[in-house]
Amino acid sequence: MWSYLIIFLMVFIEGPVVTLIAGAMVGAGILRLDLAYAARAIGNFLADQFWYWLGCRRPSRLPLSHSLGAQTPPADRRV
């Protein structure tokens, strides 16, 4: 049961790589598909919500937030 908790936490941190590893472990018969999928889906959803919340609430604390287009004029004014 700990493996699914580890998948959840690792997907929260680094999703795509852990998803591939979990899929390989399901294919090898080490993990159950339904539990691995649930852990991956919930971890991915909560990670997306966290990063969205962080970007909306604290954009000045994000690294490189000033260089990611925050001062780029809208597309209609660039023409």
Note the pLDDT tens digit of each residue in 5-19: 999 999 988 878 999
CA 29 to centroid of chain Cα atoms: 25
HSE value, Cβ hemisphere, 13 Å, CA-based, for 16: 0
Rounded-to-integer distance, Cα 69 and Cα 34, Å? 40
Q: Are 22 and 31 in contact (CB under 8 A)?
A: yes
Joined together, the tokens standing for residue 62 give: 């994000």
Among residues 24, 27, 28, 32, which one has the least CA distance to residue 4? 32
CB count, 10 Å around CB of 51? 11
Q: In the chain, pLDDT over 70 holds for what percent of residues?
A: 72
The tens digit of pLDDT for each residue in 26-56 reads 999 999 999 999 999 999 999 999 888 887 7
